[in-house]
Chains A and B, each alone.
Chain A
Amino acid sequence: MNEKEIIYFDNAATTRLDDEVLKEMLPYLKDYYGNPSSIYKLAQKNKNAIERARQDIADIFNCRASEIYFTSGGTESDNWAIKSIAEAYKSKGKHIITSEIEHHAVLNSCKYLESQGFRVSYLKVDKNGLIDENELKKNICDDTILVSIMFANNEIGTIQDIKKLAEIAHEKNILFHTDTVQAVGYIKIDLKDLGVDAMSISAHKFYGPKGIGALYLNKKIKVLSYLHGGAQEFSKRAGTENVAGIVGMAKALELAYNNLEKNNLYVKDLRDKIIDGVLNNISHVKLNGDREKRLANNINFSFEFIEGESLLLMLDAKNIFASSGSACTSGSLDPSHVLLAIGLPHELAHGSLRITLGKHNTQKEIDYFLNVLPDIVKKLRDMSPLYEEYLSKK
């Protein structure tokens, strides 16, 4: 491995923009600068580009173009869906159900609603991060108005049976939102089949640009304006559109869907090589999340006796970029809420390493990583009083 080469293993955080997507976007960043709301030709070209992108995205997800709203990304989509559904349906009830392992965009939107008088139930998950449908049934109350469950988890990659969970909610006339930010690009979503009422997506997770996302809101539900102002986005989300971003997201989604099976097989093979390579060659390691119901690109290990940030820094020194659920990397004093929710003790959550692969990763990178990792783990364990304690007890 050349010293200058980098190994990017953090594709759940964000991905590298595709060349083809960039090419599609460039004219809208430069030559086609007209405001889509204006009436002259320079502007109408942009308006048409937005509506074409909306239709393309709707075709891919099998919904109507009028059900796709462009946003600034996953966080905004989650905020909009949850807060506006809560507001629009509060006369029906003030109870919301979500899970303990949601992204903070969902969890903190729910926390905000709690401060506004709503009740929120946070479903527990099993040791692999899966939600039990009976848990959902048990938590439904007469005044439940919304269930929000993520399609695939960003930390441990666990994939939920969203179709089944949405059915359970619908039997009780409860609306269902899903955050599919990590799933799109790895799992084909057909909204007619899936049956959810609202869905959040984000372009930069599938080789699209940052700062653009979408919210699908089923026609049948009441939609409240999220940003007040002009008439953009069917008067529900004001502000001059991010035209280049919208065009880029549509292109990135098209590419992701056209190559989905191929990319999945490729990435899954690399993923399994890392999982097997690490579990077979390093002792006291645990794979977090479900082995089967798991995103093709997600790996999450806990290494006993060592701390995640140190591990990341040592990998960084080898130009390998990954992430961890340790408190030191979360910006708070507690380790990842997802790892705690699956029942990991604190020290194992602190010792976690997340590797999220992408289509640009290569076999050579995997070999290099598997080659350097054992020495790094050994160096940190040799320094660890916990390992010393373990050895003395042995």
Chain B
Amino acid sequence: MNYSEKVMEHFNNPRNVGEIVDADGVGIVGNKKCGDIMKMYLKIRNNVIEDAKFKTFGCGAAIATSSMATELIKGKKISEALKITNKTVMEALDGLPPVKVHCSCLAEQAVHAALFDYAQKNNLEIKGLKVPKDTKEENCCAEEDGNNCSCSN
């Protein structure tokens, strides 16, 4: 696989792997059938993401995008974190091979799903946050073309 050095660096030394036991929001996206699942844990205080951790079952790109997404959202306000898209994650990793674009989509979705969980638990409405897309098996494996995430729209 023709991965950038950044992708390989994050794959070999992933940041923020693990669980947050008392997480304020937890999101899980993807499924076994497609071969990638991301679980994102967030610790949130005063609308700021204080900590983020992940667990990922998936390919090199899935692990690297999870790692990069957690790095990008840590310390950010929720409103700022929501601006981080799959493209932001990809650019931060110096790009992904076309067949791996969907991994960056999953990373974006995982962040959104965890924030949605936080909002629901706290009865909040977060502007710009959509209900997470159902990534159960029958809905999965949508093929993304180019840099677009057909799965997240």
Interface pair A313/B57, CB less than 8 Å apart:
no
The yes or no answer to B14 lying at the interface (CB within 8 A) is yes
Interface pair A347/B32, CB less than 8 Å apart:
yes
Question: Which of these, B12, B57, B143, contacts A333 with CB under 8 Å?
Answer: B143
Could you count the A-B residue pairs with CB atoms below 8 Å apart for me: how many are there? Answer: 76
Interface pair A333/B1, CB less than 8 Å apart:
no
Interface membership of chain A positions 93-136, coded 1 if the CB is closer than 8 angstroms to chain B and 0 otherwise: 00000000000000000000000000000000000000000000
| Count of chain B residues with a beta carbon within 8 Å of a chain A beta carbon | 29
Nearest CB in chain B to that of A306: its residue: B57
Return chain B residues, CB-CB under 8 Å to A347: 32-33, 35, 57
The yes or no answer to A385 lying at the interface (CB within 8 A) is yes
Alpha-carbon distance between A344 and B153 when the two chains are bound, in angstroms: 32
The yes or no answer to A307 lying at the interface (CB within 8 A) is yes
The yes or no answer to B99 lying at the interface (CB within 8 A) is yes
Alpha-carbon distance between A326 and B141 when the two chains are bound, in angstroms: 14
The yes or no answer to B76 lying at the interface (CB within 8 A) is no
Question: Which of these, A305, A346, A383, contacts B35 with CB under 8 Å?
Answer: A346
Interface pair A310/B60, CB less than 8 Å apart:
yes
Nearest CB in chain B to that of A332: its residue: B99
The yes or no answer to A388 lying at the interface (CB within 8 A) is yes
The residue among B14, B17, B57, B63 with the most chain A CB atoms within 10 A of its own CB is B57
Report the minimum CB–CB distance from B152 to chain A (whole Å): 17
Alpha-carbon distance between A313 and B57 when the two chains are bound, in angstroms: 14
Interface pair B37/A386, CB less than 8 Å apart:
yes
Alpha-carbon distance between A382 and B54 when the two chains are bound, in angstroms: 11
Interface pair A327/B37, CB less than 8 Å apart:
no
The yes or no answer to A76 lying at the interface (CB within 8 A) is no
Return chain A residues, CB-CB under 8 Å to B60: 309-310, 313, 328
The yes or no answer to B28 lying at the interface (CB within 8 A) is yes
The yes or no answer to B11 lying at the interface (CB within 8 A) is yes
Alpha-carbon distance between A382 and B17 when the two chains are bound, in angstroms: 9
The residue among A313, A334, A345, A386 with the most chain B CB atoms within 10 A of its own CB is A313
- What DSSP secondary structure best describes chain A's contact surface? helix
CB proximity to B under 8 Å, residues A301-325: 305-307, 309-310, 313, 317
Report the minimum CB–CB distance from A381 to chain B (whole Å): 9
Report the minimum CB–CB distance from B57 to chain A (whole Å): 4
Alpha-carbon distance between A346 and B37 when the two chains are bound, in angstroms: 13
Return chain A residues, CB-CB under 8 Å to B59: 307, 309-310, 326, 328
Return chain A residues, CB-CB under 8 Å to B105: none
Interface pair B63/A383, CB less than 8 Å apart:
yes
The yes or no answer to B132 lying at the interface (CB within 8 A) is no
Nearest CB in chain A to that of B36: its residue: A307
Alpha-carbon distance between A215 and B57 when the two chains are bound, in angstroms: 43
Interface pair A327/B35, CB less than 8 Å apart:
yes
Question: Which of these, A331, A333, A345, contacts B34 with CB under 8 Å?
Answer: A333
Nearest CB in chain B to that of A324: its residue: B59
Interface pair B39/A310, CB less than 8 Å apart:
no
Alpha-carbon distance between A342 and B100 when the two chains are bound, in angstroms: 27
The yes or no answer to B75 lying at the interface (CB within 8 A) is no
Return chain B residues, CB-CB under 8 Å to A384: 55-57
Interface pair A385/B55, CB less than 8 Å apart:
yes
Interface pair B141/A310, CB less than 8 Å apart:
no
Return chain A residues, CB-CB under 8 Å to B71: none
| Given A310-B59, A317-B12, A326-B59, A386:B32 Cβ within 8 A | yes
Alpha-carbon distance between A309 and B57 when the two chains are bound, in angstroms: 11
Return chain B residues, CB-CB under 8 Å to A327: 34-35
Report the minimum CB–CB distance from B145 to chain A (whole Å): 13
Q: List 7 A-B contacts (CB under 8 A).
A: A306-B57, A328-B99, A346-B32, A346-B35, A383-B17, A385-B38, A385-B39
Sample of 19 more A-B contacts, CB < 8 Å, known A310-B11, A331-B99, A388-B55: A305-B57, A307-B35, A307-B58, A313-B1, A328-B61, A333-B143, A334-B141, A345-B32, A346-B33, A346-B35, A347-B33, A347-B35, A347-B57, A350-B32, A384-B55, A384-B56, A385-B38, A385-B56, A386-B57
Write the residues of chain A forming the contact surface with B, with a CB cutoff of 8 angstroms: 305-307, 309-310, 313, 317, 326-329, 331, 333-335, 345-347, 350, 382-388
